[in-house]
Amino acid sequence: MSNDTLENLFALDEAPAVDPAFRAGVMRAVAQRRFLIELAILACVSVVLLIVLFASGEALAAAAAQMLSSMDMAGLTLVIAGGVAFLGHALVTRAISLPRRVFF
């Protein structure tokens, strides 16, 4: 048997050159993995925030009371609006870029 025949036989066994179904399957799995990673990150961040808030609850309450007494309503509204805008921007622009971080 010649080498050409062997190569021809291997050519019969090739996977399809273009396979949109396979690509879609891979990208669906990638989307699921990305979702799980983002969920895990959010859960970790939430837990850390809760711990920080719990640990510094009294100090924060005292600071808030002091701030409220020295700040009028317009200033308070500006601070809250700024906070909401910052969090919204981080969410919309996906500040956490994937797959740059390796978690597994």
Partner 1 sequence: MSASLAGSDAAFSRLVDRHQQALRSFLRRVSGNDADADELAQEVFLAAWTKLRLLRSPDMFRSWLFGMAWRMSKTFKRSAARRRARDEAWHELQPQEQVPTNDLRLALNRALSTLSEDQRAAVALCLAGGWTHDEASRALEIPLGTVKSHVSRGRARLEEILGDAHEQ
Cα separation, 42 vs 21, in Å, equals: 31
Coil, strand or helix at 79: helix
Binding pattern for the stretch 27-66 against partner 1, x by CB under 8 A and - elsewhere? x-xxx-x---------------------------------
- Both tokens of residue 50? 């809760």
- Both tokens of residue 1? 């048997």
Cα separation, 41 vs 50, in Å, equals: 14
Smallest separation, CB 37 to partner 1 (Å): 8
Interface with partner 1, residue 10, by CB under 8 A: yes
Q: Which residues bind partner 1 (CB under 8 A)?
A: 1, 3, 5-7, 9-10, 12-19, 22-23, 25-27, 29-31, 33, 97-104
